[in-house]
Amino acid sequence: MDGPAPAAAPDRYPLRNSTEREGTRLSMLEGLGDPVTVRWFDRIGVAAGWHCAELGAGAGSLVRWLSERVGDGGSVTAVDRDAGRLRALAGRCPNVTVVEGDLCGMDLPPGRFDLVHTRSVLMHLPCADAVVAKAVAALAPGGVVFFEETDGAPAQAVEDPPPGYGLMVRFATIWRWARGLVPLLESLGMEVVEEDVRADPLVGGTPQAEFWKFTLGSVAQLGRGADASAGGADLDREVAAMTALLDDPDFSAPFTARHRVRARRPA
């Protein structure tokens, strides 16, 4: 697997895993997402001896789970642009290999994996189609890709957002990629086994709302860093208004649709 691209891709994902704050946010994400992901891994039949790739592996909870499931005869390749939180895992688990690099510029070994998985990664990448093509080529015959990525279609349809919610709509407007995943996989010769689309509203006072409050805090920090003048103050006001909505158990609004797609490379 090659290292980072000589020319880095445009950065649509400005958060950096190495900060303490981002470590907390990634843990919250794992707490919200892992139970569902693990149920899907079970349904897919991930088993001892499998060779797995976790792309955009973040803080590594799924790498740890896969490492235990596939055992000594299997392997887990964990890839991230910012792999600091994964290295300790590689030290502890002999079947884990960590690769630090930008997925946009990296090659994956052809015909190697029984499973390639992403969660909340491709939706942020300008090169997502190319990464999917590389993931497909990296599958052994009969191997499976499983993508869990978010689309902003429900929020994009909101016509008159309440004060503060415009901020969430702006995030969601960028997320348009996941809806095209099934035709993309079919065009690559994959057999799409299942697509599950869940459009859950964003509801105040829930663990998901807590995650978004924390994320908005990170975004506000970045905004202040980028523009300490007028724009920063506007962003702070929007974040405060949205935080109040997220604290309110009576608040509910359309936000995102989670696309979970699994597809098999014909044997």
Kindly list the residues in this chain that would bind ligand SAM in the complex (CB under 6 A). Answer: 9, 13, 17, 26, 29-30, 33, 56-58, 80-82, 102-104, 119-121, 124-125
What's the rounded Cα separation, in Å, for the pair 115 and 59?
19
As a whole number of Å, the end-to-end CA separation of the chain is: 24
Looking at beta carbons only, is 51 or 119 nearer to ligand SAM? 119
**Where are the strands (E) in the chain, listed by range?**
51-55, 75-80, 96-100, 113-119, 139-151, 191-198, 202-203, 252-253, 257-264
Beta bridge partners of 111: none
Q: Closest separation between CB of residue 119 and ligand SAM, Å?
A: 4
Q: Closest separation between CB of residue 248 and ligand SAM, Å?
A: 25
Beta bridge partners of 51: 75
CB burial class (10 A; 0-12, 13-18, 19+) of residue 264? Answer: middle
Structure tokens at 230: 């007028």
Q: Count other C-beta atoms under 10 Å from residue 81's C-beta.
A: 20
Looking at beta carbons only, is 82 or 151 nearer to ligand SAM? 82
Looking at beta carbons only, is 3 or 163 nearer to ligand SAM? 3
Q: Closest separation between CB of residue 175 and ligand SAM, Å?
A: 12
Q: Closest separation between CB of residue 267 and ligand SAM, Å?
A: 28
The residue sitting closest to ligand SAM, measured at its beta carbon, is 58
Looking at beta carbons only, is 28 or 192 nearer to ligand SAM? 28
Structure tokens at 74: 């299997």
What's the rounded Cα separation, in Å, for the pair 111 and 16?
31
Looking at beta carbons only, is 104 or 132 nearer to ligand SAM? 104
Q: Closest separation between CB of residue 258 and ligand SAM, Å?
A: 12
In which region does residue 152 sit, left (phi positive, over 0), alpha (psi from -120 to 50) or beta (all else)? Answer: alpha
Looking at beta carbons only, is 13 or 171 nearer to ligand SAM? 13
Q: Closest separation between CB of residue 250 and ligand SAM, Å?
A: 28
